[in-house]
Amino acid sequence: MDRFLDQFFNLEVMAKYLPDVAAGFVVTIQLALSVIVTGLTLGLALAVIRAFQIRPVNWLIILFVDLFRALPPLVILIIFYFGLPFIGLTMSAFVISWLVLAFVLASFAEEIYWAGITSVNRGQWEASRSTGLGFTQTLFYVVIPQAIRMTIPPLTNRTIAITKNTALASVVTVEEMLTVAQTSLAYAANTSPLTMAAVGYLLIFFPLTMASRWVESRYAWKR
């Protein structure tokens, strides 16, 4: 037992590496927030564009969305990270991780928003159009508000699941929490920094996961 505690919960080691892990924690939060804001916004924008039903544009959107949903995010991340320099594009690992995860989130979000938009009853369109509101006005004032409400539970879950992937950025050496913890682990020959990182992730995601349960019951489907 002592050996276990010493290996995983060594207070001395923890104290020593706390500042480093804390710095990584901040990077993780920055990355997560950037991904959430841009991903959800881009996803909504794509769904709105898709609603206008312009054939070639829709094909492009579907292609984009399908690619980012079918490929493992780590594969996309590595292709961007190692592949882009071959065509002369160099971006920081943070920017690449942000973009890739935002694209992934946007793709899932687009599908969810789109499912929400198409599930709004035809009668809502007709009622709105019969009062003289145009297509775009109906979309923005009548359909999207209802669609978004319907999509809140699946969107919350998906956002949490994808935002957890910020840990993947450690593979392309972004100095986020997991990277820092692994480096510290190697220096200290002790697992405690990793424990701290795990606690860090729990601090961020455990409350969110619990909250998503509440959201699910609050916005349960009802007509």
Q: How far is CA 206 from the centre of its chain?
A: 15
Compare residues 12 and 66 and give the one whose CB is closer to other proteins: 66
Compare residues 45 and 198 and give the one whose CB is closer to other proteins: 198
H-helix or E-strand containing 51?
Answer: helix 11-51
Smallest distance, Å, CB 223 to other proteins? 7
Compare residues 102 and 139 and give the one whose CB is closer to other proteins: 139
Question: The tokens of 203 are what?
Answer: 């601090």
CA-wise closest residue to 165 among 111, 219, 115, 107? 107
The answer to whether the CB of 189 falls within 8 A of the CB of 182 is no
Q: How far apart are CA 193 and CA 6, in angstroms?
A: 12
Smallest distance, Å, CB 210 to other proteins? 6
| Helix, strand, coil in percent for the chain, rounding step 5 | 85, 0, 15
Compare residues 55 and 223 and give the one whose CB is closer to other proteins: 223
Smallest distance, Å, CB 164 to other proteins? 4
